[in-house]
Amino acid sequence: MVALPAPPGTRVPGGMPAADVLLADGTVAVIREVRPADRPGLEALHDEASAASLRLRFFATSRRAGRDYVAHLFEGGGADTMASLVATVHDRVVALATAERVGPDAAEVAFMVADSLRGRGVGSLLLEHLAAAARDQGVRRFVAEVLAENTRMLRVFLDAGFEISRETEEGTVHVEMGTTASARAVAAADEREFLSEARSLAPLLYPGSVAVTGVRRDGTGVGAAVLDSIGSGGFTGRLCVVHPQAEAVDGVTAYPRLTDVPFHLDLVVVAVPAERVLDTIRDAATAGASSAVVISSGFEELGGVGKDIQREMLRIARDHSMRLVGPNCLGLMSNHPDVRLNATFSPFVPPSGGLAIASQSGGVGIVLIDVARDLGLGVGCFVSLGNKADVSGNDLLAAWRDDPRVGAAALYLESFGNAAKFARVARRFAERKPLLAVVGGRSAGGRRAGASHTAAATTPGVGVDALFAQAGVIGCRSAEEMADTALLLTEQALPAGPRVAIVSNAGGLGVLAADEADSGGLVVPELSPTLREQIARHVTGTAGTSNPVDAGAGAAGSDLAAITAALLDSGEVDAVLVILVRTNVTDPAPVLEALARCRVEHPGTPLVLVPMGGLDARREDLPGITVLRSAAAAIRSLGRASAYAAWLRVPHEDPPATDEDVAAEARRIAEELVSETAEDGGWLDVEQITDLLSPYGLVPVGALVHSPLAASAAAAHIGFPVAVKVADQHVVHKTDRGLVRVGLQSGMEVLSSVRAFEEELGHDEVPVLVQPVVSGVEVALGVVRDPGFGPMVMVAAGGVATDLWNDRAFLVPPISRADATRALRSLRIWPLLEGYRGSHRGDVDALAGIVVSLGALATDVPQVAELDLNPVVVTPEDCVLVDIKVRVASGLPVNAGIPRQLRSPR
């Protein structure tokens, strides 16, 4: 029950976009504003309603009440109706929702749903869309009168996640509901989406019947290759081919058209030439197929007519509630033992297992499958997304989250579509199961979006890293790295911490692995004397007992197993890495057998083996031990697993709810400021900044003056020492030009400094900010808008050396306090904030609060194009905003990723 992306260009009167939505049973409906042409459909909706439905809606069984209400909407009686929405299925009106004003900030809502669609979530979706429309028009409360026996309608209000109050009197329940898109409301919508996606995609992911189109009888072409893959893979369901002349192809029964197939089709594989795809999709839809995978290419990727054909393909599929993968894709695998479907033209089939894979690139998908097969990584599902006309990575994550056959997911993406939506869906998935991802297209040269430190620091990979860090996504750099990490995560428990012990029979390799561990976020701890003494009994010659442990080239299997067992049981490390090199000194077979016994006797702590020098270590002989190809791969995989475990240990915290009134006022001020500046916006002065940011608690310290004498007087009032700086936002790098003076001890020093500013800038009445001198840790915070990710908030080491420090992290709003604190802790300057070498701890809570406020501002006010707070001086008592720069502009995106029906007002 999720708002699916509407086909490009779909709009309705009034500017509200039509929303394709997925109902709980997999039916695709459209929610849009009422149109004049809807009157007959609305009359039919009320005429066909049962007497019970009419009574629940109008408190009477009179059919005239329904007709009268429709007339009320269309004949001018509905002047107070601030929103009226319909839901349609196959162009038939199946539901109506209205909101009529009953006060300046309140509206009464009412719903009518066709009897045949009750219980499928239509009311919930309509309510969410109504709430969005209401916020757009300043309505903060919904009211409704509901018969106490109308439990379904009451449940719609209760389950929506909005703030609700109820009062019952004489069999009628008076309901009041806030319209704010709170975190709870968004979560409720997401949960409904996850359930709907799972039901909708089940025939695609676990098909019991498949038809393949585009198969040549001579065995050539993609269709024949797919049919061969299905046959050799041992598909357990019903299989047929569509061919206009043949009765059978390669031993598989053929039918002239999809509509001639005598059984229901869960999946149609489309491999016909591009010019025949639309007809094939129409046939599949008419036949009632549940899903289709379009392997054929020549559509949106080529633009022009191909793009139009893809749009029509999607329209047909949605009109018939048929899910669509592709086009221009490799196909899919459902590799579970009870399905065994390889509907791709790749011959590689990995072992069956719990990893689900989605790839936007068919080529990368082939590599992933091949690497998984070589590693012995168990894959249960593979979907090649192609052009993502319908089914996306978000949809699959929603379907896979509660699927007991999926233990982890891996994605290869080249675009996010809706980055904030991905962040939210990914977080909900990662809270239950590991989610790995590789993103292509990160290597473009760093761009410069503006003059601020924040904009200059934003490069193409920054948004990806920020999104992954917040959402708990395990980011990888290649298909091979993702496969290695997935193998570790599916075979081992999560590490309890970052401490790793390294054991080898070649000391140099252990040292190199320890060096790699530091860059991988792991710690190679010094072992306790007791543990070292225990290990010493099992090392040979001059080998070492420190960490990394050098067992010696001649170490016997029993000794290596004893060392490994001691480390696994010590409680001093969170994972053990064994690097074993084949030598002529020791027979490797007994060594591997001893390690296998050790694993069985000492389960729990992750154990990874790296065989080298031609050592043949087969996974099937080493149950419970993950075998990887290199020490570097093992360290990187353990580092990612440790980071994911650390993310899971931090309790989830929702961002604060949006104050709709504050947000609306801030947007109004910002729009005025945009019109007052240059055509495309511009930098604001201190007074403008104060007006815009003060509702968010973001105000620079000090007094703004416009003359040397006024500056001297302000300094005397503030108290010496003071700092003075030019407050013209068009002047950047003020320190380099001598336009900032710090530590002034008298009025005369202030006078001479301001006069020097006037000389440097060549005019009088220079705006000057006079501020107290504050000591503490300098931090830089900021906001910038990325074309792909929308607004991002930066936290960094601050002051004049911000760029030299290169110590920064980014966050994707909305931001919780937990997110803000995590980002601050990731900075190298964190020890200074926490109290380094006896210094006082800074007010980190206040600093995190400022970061949260910046996230709210960035989400609420799309006109804020860039913002820099540098420095923010963190003292033990407070955080002082010393310098603020803000640039405003028009036409920027807002609230990307929030479900369309829950978005804050624009």
The partner residues of 342 in beta bridges, in order of sequence, read 333
**pLDDT, mean over the chain:** 89
Is the preceding peptide bond at 899 cis, omega within 30 degrees of 0? no
Q: Are 689 and 666 in contact (CB under 8 A)?
A: no
Q: What is the DSSP string of 236-293?
A: -SEEEEE-SS-SEETTEEEESSGGG-SS--SEEEE-S-GGGHHHHHHHHHHTT-SEEE
Task: Answer with the residue of higher pLDDT: 409 or 442.
Answer: 409
Half-sphere exposure of 826 (CA within 13 A, CB side): 23
In whole angstroms, what is the distance from residue 249 CA to residue 87 CA? Answer: 44
Of 572-586, 742-756, 833-847, 887-901, the one with minimum mean pLDDT is 887-901
Residue whose token pair is 């790839």: 359
Q: Cα separations (Å) of 591 from 95, 605, 627?
A: 70, 20, 14
Within a 10 A sphere around the Cβ of 788, how many other Cβ atoms? 14
- State residue 904's pLDDT score: 33
- The answer to whether residue 331 scores a pLDDT higher than 60 is yes
- Name the DSSP letter for residue 446: P
- State residue 875's pLDDT score: 94
Structure tokens at 184: 């709870």
Task: Answer with the residue of higher pLDDT: 729 or 589.
Answer: 589
- State residue 455's pLDDT score: 46
In whole angstroms, what is the distance from residue 513 CA to residue 524 CA? Answer: 10
Residue 449: pLDDT band (50, 70, 90) is very low
- In this structure, the strands spanning 884-888 and 864-874 are antiparallel
262-286 confidence digits (pLDDT tens):
999 999 999 999 999 999 999 999 9
Q: End-to-end distance of the chain based on CA atoms, in angstroms?
A: 24
- Name the DSSP letter for residue 727: -
Q: What is the DSSP string of 524-582?
A: -PPPPHHHHHHHHTT--TT---SSSEE--TT--HHHHHHHHHHHHHHSS-SEEEEEEE-
Structure tokens at 439: 């993103």
Contact partners, residue 576, CB within 8 Å, separation at least 6: 500, 501, 502, 503, 564, 567, 568, 605, 606, 607, 608
- State residue 62's pLDDT score: 85
| Amino acid present at 720 | F
Task: Answer with the residue of higher pLDDT: 237 or 653.
Answer: 237
Query: What is the mean predicted confidence (pLDDT) over 372-394?
Result: 95
In whole angstroms, what is the distance from residue 17 CA to residue 903 CA? Answer: 12
Task: Answer with the residue of higher pLDDT: 456 or 142.
Answer: 142
Structure tokens at 512: 């190199």
Q: What share of the chain is helix, strand, coil (3-state, %, to 5)?
A: 40, 25, 35
- State residue 443's pLDDT score: 52
492-504 confidence digits (pLDDT tens):
999 999 999 999 9
| Amino acid present at 182 | S
Q: Are 487 and 626 in contact (CB under 8 A)?
A: yes
- The answer to whether residue 483 scores a pLDDT higher than 80 is yes
Contact partners, residue 12, CB within 8 Å, separation at least 6: 18, 32, 33, 35
295-321 confidence digits (pLDDT tens):
999 999 998 899 999 999 999 999 999
Query: What is the mean predicted confidence (pLDDT) over 226-248?
Result: 96
What's the angle, vertex CA 647, arms to CA 646 and CA 648, rounded to 5? 90
Structure tokens at 615: 């050592």
| Amino acid present at 541 | G
In whole angstroms, what is the distance from residue 46 CA to residue 65 CA? Answer: 9
Query: What is the mean predicted confidence (pLDDT) over 769-788?
Result: 90
Q: Are 885 and 452 in contact (CB under 8 A)?
A: yes
Query: What is the mean predicted confidence (pLDDT) over 435-461?
Result: 56
- State residue 336's pLDDT score: 96
Q: Are 360 and 413 in contact (CB under 8 A)?
A: yes
The partner residues of 413 in beta bridges, in order of sequence, read 439
- The answer to whether residue 849 scores a pLDDT higher than 70 is yes
Structure tokens at 661: 């009134």
Q: Cα separations (Å) of 219 from 243, 342, 662?
A: 13, 17, 66
Look at residues 847, 888, 891 and name the one whose alpha carbon lies nearest to residue 729. 888
Residue 77: pLDDT band (50, 70, 90) is low
- The answer to whether residue 127 scores a pLDDT higher than 80 is yes
Look at residues 291, 254, 256 and name the one whose alpha carbon lies nearest to residue 270. 291
The partner residues of 211 in beta bridges, in order of sequence, read 240, 268
Q: Cα separations (Å) of 328 from 292, 550, 666?
A: 12, 52, 45
In whole angstroms, what is the distance from residue 309 CA to residue 276 CA? Answer: 11
Taken in order 690, 694, 699, 705, the sign of the CA dihedral is positive
Q: Determine the 3-state secondary structure of 334 from DSSP.
A: strand
Contact partners, residue 728, CB within 8 Å, separation at least 6: 685, 761, 766, 767
- State residue 79's pLDDT score: 60
- The answer to whether residue 905 scores a pLDDT higher than 80 is no
- The answer to whether residue 897 scores a pLDDT higher than 90 is no
- Name the DSSP letter for residue 695: G
- State residue 543's pLDDT score: 59
| Amino acid present at 107 | A
Q: Are 379 and 350 in contact (CB under 8 A)?
A: yes
- State residue 892's pLDDT score: 55
Backbone angles phi, psi at 252, to 5 degrees: -105, 130
Structure tokens at 24: 């709980």
Residue 12: pLDDT band (50, 70, 90) is very low
Burial label, 874 (beta-carbon count in 10 A; 0-12, 13-18, 19+): buried
- State residue 541's pLDDT score: 60
Query: What is the mean predicted confidence (pLDDT) over 341-364?
Result: 93
Q: Cα separations (Å) of 829 from 178, 807, 824?
A: 42, 8, 9
| pTM of the entire predicted model | 0.88
The partner residues of 501 in beta bridges, in order of sequence, read 576
Structure tokens at 233: 């893979």
- State residue 81's pLDDT score: 80
Query: What is the mean predicted confidence (pLDDT) over 69-80?
Result: 79
- State residue 893's pLDDT score: 46
Burial label, 837 (beta-carbon count in 10 A; 0-12, 13-18, 19+): exposed
In whole angstroms, what is the distance from residue 609 CA to residue 618 CA? Answer: 11
What's the angle, vertex CA 408, arms to CA 405 and CA 413, rounded to 5? 120
Q: Cα separations (Å) of 801 from 11, 28, 185, 534, 875?
A: 49, 55, 43, 49, 19
| Amino acid present at 878 | D
- The answer to whether residue 522 scores a pLDDT higher than 80 is yes
Q: Cα separations (Å) of 878 from 21, 651, 701, 775, 849?
A: 48, 26, 12, 11, 11
Contact partners, residue 196, CB within 8 Å, separation at least 6: 1, 2, 22, 23, 24, 26, 121
- In this structure, the strands spanning 164-169 and 172-178 are antiparallel
Structure tokens at 458: 């934003």
The partner residues of 168 in beta bridges, in order of sequence, read 173
- The answer to whether residue 803 scores a pLDDT higher than 80 is no
* Element housing 713 (H / E): helix 708-718
- The answer to whether residue 138 scores a pLDDT higher than 80 is yes
- In this structure, the strands spanning 209-213 and 267-270 are parallel
* Element housing 269 (H / E): strand 267-270
Q: Cα separations (Å) of 833 from 165, 694, 829, 837, 868?
A: 44, 25, 7, 11, 20
